[in-house]
Structure 1
Amino acid sequence: MKSNVELASRLSVAPMMDWTDRHCRYFHRQLSGRTLLYTEMVTSAALIRGGARHLLAYDPAEQPLALQLGGSDAAELAQAARIGAEEGYAEVNLNVGCPSDRVQSGCFGAMLMREPERVVDCVSEMSAASHAEITVKCRIGVDDQIPEEVLPRFLDMLRSAGVRRVIIHARKAWLQGLSPKENREVPPLDHGLVLAMKRAFPDLSICINGGIETLDQAMDFLREGLDGVMVGRAAYHHPAAILLGADRRIHGLADRDITPTDAALAMRPYIARHLSQGGRLGAVTRHMLGLFSGRPGARAWRRALSEAPNGGLAEYDNALQSLVHRAAA
């Protein structure tokens, strides 16, 4: 029987550094009750050597929620996975896809695609130490690797190590010569290779990531046999377009008939609580700038929130009221 996180993983929002923090996730949950959400990547070193367990904090309303870990030390990752499970994460994902300088200097992320044996050691120890499901997010290859050769071998090794669910970003990572931003855009997408991997490994749950901009695209990939679709920047910049219809179209649930305005109103108590604890308005609302993207008043909404990062509920209410008036005009 599939777990709740695996059922939810038919559609997920990608872990994105500096973006998918707890405020972002709480906001996304107002738009979709079922879509799987991920933390930003948390390094095992930060948890084990840095004592940064606070990075795992979340509101229970964010569930279903998965933790992404970065690291390459198997024993340390095992401890981090155990801690993640203790904190209530039912899935712990190992990052084998991030190409940033930060992860390269730490010899993890996409660098690990060059060391599949180390990845096997890591996921094996993580599984032994934790009752959470251990998953992997990877690229189709790095640098001069030939994806059609390395990816099947990599998936076979993961499967042998007990991994049952893999998220594949359908681009190579170039570890030298391209910035992290360019690595999200320049290497060509090969969605066909990911589809071929599902045919080659029917017993693996395979989720596709990379270049997916609409819910229609996500539906197409599911119809073609993939088990899940992970959306990144599109879900962040245009959250209503991706997430509002997801519970009905992707997860087969009754439509909650939520509008972007309903979601903005639902965020008000959360924002009030955050402000009462000394937080900044902008820490929450920066994730909400695209809520009304493509709708009347969207520009005024973005401007009002961007100009009041240190404001209070009055500024938030004024931004929403101004948008409602413009939309009605």
Structure 2
Amino acid sequence: MARIRETADTSGLHTAARLSVAPMMDWTDRHCRALHRRLSRHALLYTEMVTAPALVRGGALHLLDHAEDEHPVALQLGGSDPAELAQAARLGAEAGYDEINLNVGCPSDRVQSGTFGAVLMETPGLVADCCAAMIAAQPREVTVKCRIGVDAQDPETVLPDFLDRVRAAGVRRVIVHARKAWLQGLSPRQNRDVPPLDHDLVTRMKARFPDLHLSVNGGIASLDAVRSYLDAGLDGVMVGRAAYHRPAEILAAADRRIFGVRGPDATPEAAARAMLPHIEAHLARGGKLQQVTRHMLGLFAGRPGARAWRRVLSDGAHRPGAGPELVEAALAQLGEVQGAA
């Protein structure tokens, strides 16, 4: 478990939130975050959603495990009971997370049945109560990730009312996925693509709520796009699938272009080699290579040799005894393809 941090660095978090990587179930685990951190030292990283009942009732504190070098890193919680969320937030703060985020955006059936995620857009008063309880329970900043509405709701009406209520509860930073969630009729996968995006609505909300730190999320697929939204006046941009499938494209130049840090950009080759100690430590704890390398497949996306890189890792990582030497072999194969190009 990471060491406990006594105070939250809110100003530093607000800077880090200029670019963040979205919480994504089955993807943004600690191995994924380790890779992303080796590409950017400054972007804000999020965990997969962890449910408050799993922590409070199930005692699954291993879900809070993370490394010290992941910071700045935020814990995303799912739930709808204020007292339970308060206790879960306290556990997250004690585990050392820099931020506690409430999920009000996930549309999956499992989340709906638990009365949390996107369905909470229908009960903004309850969301406000949850946020107030989480804020009162611990010292970390509490943030919210939401949709612009669900089903037949009118986002022009629903979103400003939602923001007003969570602001009154003490929330000062909100990430808005600029799509509706259709809880009836669309699968979770379809909800990531089918509902139309309305980034302009989020930009208008920034003008209406200038005191809120607002980040936009949804369909943002390049660092140029990130810059354009920041230049348009938004405080932050959260990137999801593009950061996972093409991590170097989004993160390798981010410290220079988004955070103004001087020096050379990260490279995917250096990031891959920097993962070797992480891999060795994971294997020493009884882990499997594929649990790490599955997050590294897109590291060279769009570059000569990317297919060879993926093939070597995909074919070999699941084999008994596979270790860091497979990553070295994949890098060598990549170099051979690039040299022949």
| TM-score of the superposed pair, with normalisation by structure 1 | 0.98
1:128 counterpart (124, 136, 139): 136
The amino acid that maps onto 2:301 is: S
SS in 2 for 1:211: coil
- In the alignment, the residues of structure 2 paired with residue 87 and residue 224 of structure 1 have an alpha-carbon distance, to the nearest angstrom, of 36
Residue 156 (1) aligns with residue 164 (2): yes
User: Offset at 1:314?
Assistant: 2.4
1:166 counterpart (174, 191, 195): 174
User: Offset at 1:141?
Assistant: 0.2
Deviation track 1:202-235 (CA, whole Å, cap 9, x = no partner) reads 0000000001000000000000100000000000
Contact 1:171 1:188 in 2 (8 A): yes
Contact 1:245 1:255 in 2 (8 A): no
2:33 counterpart (22, 25, 28): 25
Residue 105 (1) aligns with residue 113 (2): yes
Question: What stretches of structure 2 of length at least 5 have no aligned partner?
Answer: 1-8
The amino acid that maps onto 2:327 is: Y
| TM-score of the superposed pair, with normalisation by structure 2 | 0.95
Aligned residues: 329
Counterpart for residue 312 of structure 1: 323
Counterpart for residue 223 of structure 1: 231
Question: What stretches of structure 1 of length at least 5 have no aligned partner?
Answer: none
User: Offset at 1:49?
Assistant: 0.3
Counterpart for residue 4 of structure 2: none
- In the alignment, the residues of structure 1 paired with residue 170 and residue 265 of structure 2 have an alpha-carbon distance, to the nearest angstrom, of 40
SS in 1 for 2:143: strand
2:253 counterpart (200, 224, 245): 245
The amino acid that maps onto 1:324 is: G
- In the alignment, the residues of structure 2 paired with residue 193 and residue 274 of structure 1 have an alpha-carbon distance, to the nearest angstrom, of 43
Contact 2:83 2:133 in 1 (8 A): yes
- In the alignment, the residues of structure 2 paired with residue 185 and residue 65 of structure 1 have an alpha-carbon distance, to the nearest angstrom, of 27
SS in 2 for 1:137: strand
Counterpart for residue 6 of structure 2: none
Counterpart for residue 176 of structure 1: 184
- In the alignment, the residues of structure 1 paired with residue 92 and residue 111 of structure 2 have an alpha-carbon distance, to the nearest angstrom, of 20
Contact 2:40 2:266 in 1 (8 A): no
2:335 counterpart (309, 321, 324): 324
Residue 44 (1) aligns with residue 52 (2): yes
SS in 1 for 2:49: strand
1:204 counterpart (212, 215, 218): 212
- In the alignment, the residues of structure 1 paired with residue 29 and residue 187 of structure 2 have an alpha-carbon distance, to the nearest angstrom, of 22
Contact 1:70 1:95 in 2 (8 A): yes
The amino acid that maps onto 1:170 is: A
The amino acid that maps onto 1:101 is: D
Residue 73 (1) aligns with residue 81 (2): yes
- In the alignment, the residues of structure 1 paired with residue 317 and residue 217 of structure 2 have an alpha-carbon distance, to the nearest angstrom, of 32
SS in 1 for 2:316: coil
1:279-290 maps to which residues of 2 (within 5 A)? 279-290=287-298
- In the alignment, the residues of structure 2 paired with residue 150 and residue 308 of structure 1 have an alpha-carbon distance, to the nearest angstrom, of 50
User: Offset at 1:2?
Assistant: 4.6
1:250-269 maps to which residues of 2 (within 5 A)? 250-269=258-277
User: Offset at 1:68?
Assistant: 0.2
- In the alignment, the residues of structure 2 paired with residue 175 and residue 123 of structure 1 have an alpha-carbon distance, to the nearest angstrom, of 23
The amino acid that maps onto 2:334 is: L
The amino acid that maps onto 1:318 is: A
Deviation track 1:252-294 (CA, whole Å, cap 9, x = no partner) reads 1113432111111111111111112211111000000000011
- In the alignment, the residues of structure 1 paired with residue 86 and residue 191 of structure 2 have an alpha-carbon distance, to the nearest angstrom, of 29
Contact 2:10 2:141 in 1 (8 A): no
User: Offset at 1:317?
Assistant: 1.5
- In the alignment, the residues of structure 2 paired with residue 258 and residue 219 of structure 1 have an alpha-carbon distance, to the nearest angstrom, of 18
Counterpart for residue 58 of structure 1: 66
Percent identity for Structure 1 against Structure 2: 65
